[in-house]
Each structure stands twice: as C-alpha cells, then as structure tokens.
Amino acid sequence: MKIYLLSATAVIFLSVIVSLVIPEGKLNKTIVFVMRMVCIVVLIQPVTGIFKIDSSTSDAPMYDYVYICKVYSDNQSEQLEKVLLEKFEVNSNCFVNVEYENREFKVTAVSVEISQQNEELISNIYEYLDELKYINVTVKAIAYNY
C-alpha cells in the first residue's frame, strides 16, 4: 500500500510539473490529456486488482482425469465383452484398466473372466487380445453360483 501511495503521489506531482512547464500551444492540450490519463490509470490500479485472475488457478487441471479414466474403462470393458461374445460366443466379464499418463490415455491392464472351464477357449481369447496389442492380459475361468 505504501508503494502504491508513493507512486500515485509521484505521478500526480509529475503531471502538475509537466502541465506548468509546457508552453501554451497545440501540443499542450494533448500532453495534459495524456498525463491525466496516466494519473487515472495509476489511481484505479487497486480496483483492477480485484478483477485480476489468480495465476495459480489457471495452472490447475481443468479436467477430472480420474473420472474420465473410469468412464473410458467402463466403455472399453463393455465393448470388449460385446466383441468376445460376437467372436467367441462366450459371455464374459471384462475389466479394462485405463490410466492417464504422459498426456494420453493408455490401457494398462485387461482382465477377462469367462464361465467356461475350457483351456483352448482361454488360450484363444488370450491370443486374440495379444494380437490387439493389449498389455497385462489375464484370462481366467470363474465358476458362477446360480
């Protein structure tokens, strides 16, 4: 506050001195107008600080990546279940884990649970997912109690 008062006083004092020193003429009105505008800008500076956006809030991420990853994981899991039903004619529970790393979304793990104890089917599903370039793939048979 002390710096503000000193700078406001200095600008006003400079404005008065300039208006006294400048000779009468065409340029006098323009210089006086400019000096008054400078004084107004200096005097309203604290008011403009109220409307200033804090830079710490602008650096914060604008997206909830945890929520986006969950939605993306759920969608990928649902789509994978549909593909496996179509390709292998097997009902499954799929869990696709998606994480946000290095400014992009990546599938970090895939888990598939099927209700059939068929080693050949498990192997075929694993190979199919491996061809699709999924990483950390787990395919297992789960006994469901009905």
Q: How would you write the pLDDT of the chain (146 residues) with one tens digit per residue?
A: 788 888 888 888 888 888 888 888 878 888 888 888 888 888 888 777 666 655 555 555 667 888 888 998 999 999 999 998 999 888 889 999 988 888 888 889 999 998 888 888 889 988 998 888 888 888 888 865 54
pTM for this model (two decimals) = 0.55
pLDDT of residue 75: 92
- Decide: 104 and 69 in contact? Cβ < 8 Å: no
Q: From the CB of residue 92, how many other CB atoms can be counted at a distance below 10 Å?
A: 20
Q: What is the pLDDT of residues 95-108, one digit of tens each?
A: 999 888 888 888 89
